[in-house]
Amino acid sequence: MIYSLKGTLIHRTPSFIVVECGGVGYKCTTTLMTIRELPDVGKECTVYTHMAVREDAVELFGFASSEERECFKMLTGVSGVGSKVGTAILSEFTPEQVAVCIAAEDSKSLTKAAGVGNKLAQRIVLELKDKMKKLNSSSGGSKLAASSSGASSFGNVKNAIDALSVLGYESGEIMPIISKFDTTLKVEELIHLTLLELGKSKGA
């Protein structure tokens, strides 16, 4: 399995890129969000990859961040959501925005993405919300959140934790960080600040 590619960006289109590594050009289907994050053609870049193997094809997907890749994998794990719809959603929304939509049960916003109707958007929210509940119940995340925040601010913390679980993070690694912040902050702000701190710890 190819985890990531680090090399020269030699080609880009609105739907795919080619990264040359060791003389081999790897074509990666990608999102508009990733296209905007990548450097100019001819410069070095790193993309996080996911390989989809089907009966009739093998396709490599590339993303500017591991969070976007994890979000893509979660989305395409939903019944009825293929790679085309997954990339369409992540071309319209950042992983953080997708996570907030799931946590807030906002299926209507997801219909802005090409190919996502009301029923499919509702299914995405329902299936991923259920998955987040299972993740949090198995790790004790909700109990941790309740003990570290007041009743009035618990909702924002819980929604932020739920949203971050969409991006592949576990409550155990999130809670020590998120508990440092003002729990009255908006969900989006809590997510952003937590991701910044997680990025610092990985880079240390």
Sign of CA dihedral 171, 177, 182, 186: negative
| pLDDT at residue 82, as a whole number | 92
Max mean pLDDT among 13-22, 48-57, 98-107, 138-147 falls in 13-22
Average pLDDT, the chain: 84
Max Cα-Cα span within the chain:
57
pLDDT in tens, 185-200: 888 888 888 888 887 7
pLDDT confidence of residue 113: 95
- The answer on pLDDT for 98 being more than 80 is yes
Name 20's bridge partners.
8, 25
Q: Are strands 4-12 and 44-53 parallel, antiparallel or unpaired?
A: antiparallel
Helices (runs of H) and strands (runs of E) counted in the chain: 10, 5
Q: What is the pLDDT of residue 202?
A: 60
Structure tokens, 30: 């990608």
Residue 23 has pLDDT above 60, yes or no: yes
Which neighbouring-strand residues pair with 52? 59
The reply to whether 4-64 and 68-203 are identical in fold is no
CATH fold, domain 68-203, is: DNA polymerase; domain 1 (1.10.150)
What is the CATH T-level fold of the domain 4-64, as seen in this structure?
A: OB fold (Dihydrolipoamide Acetyltransferase, E2P) (2.40.50)
Q: Where are the domains of the chain?
A: 4-64, 68-203
pLDDT given for residue 154 in this prediction = 58
Closest CA to 67 of 183, 172, 185, 202: 202
Query: What pLDDT is attached to residue 12?
Result: 95
Percent of the chain with pLDDT over 90: 49
Residue 146 CA to residue 120 CA, distance in Å, equals 32
Looking at 30-182, list the stretches that DSSP marks H as alpha helix, in order from N- to C-terminal side.
32-37, 66-76, 83-92, 95-103, 107-110, 118-139, 141-148, 154-166, 171-178
What is the model's pLDDT at position 147? Answer: 39
Lookup: tokens for 101? 């939509």
What is the per-residue pLDDT across 119-158, written as a single tens digit (0 to 9) for each? Answer: 999 999 999 887 766 655 554 444 334 333 333 445 788 8
Encode pLDDT of 46-89 as tens digits: 999 999 988 888 999 999 998 899 899 999 999 999 999 999 99
One-character DSSP codes across 111-130 = TTSTT--HHHHHHHHHHHHH
Which is higher by pLDDT, 172 or 6? Answer: 6
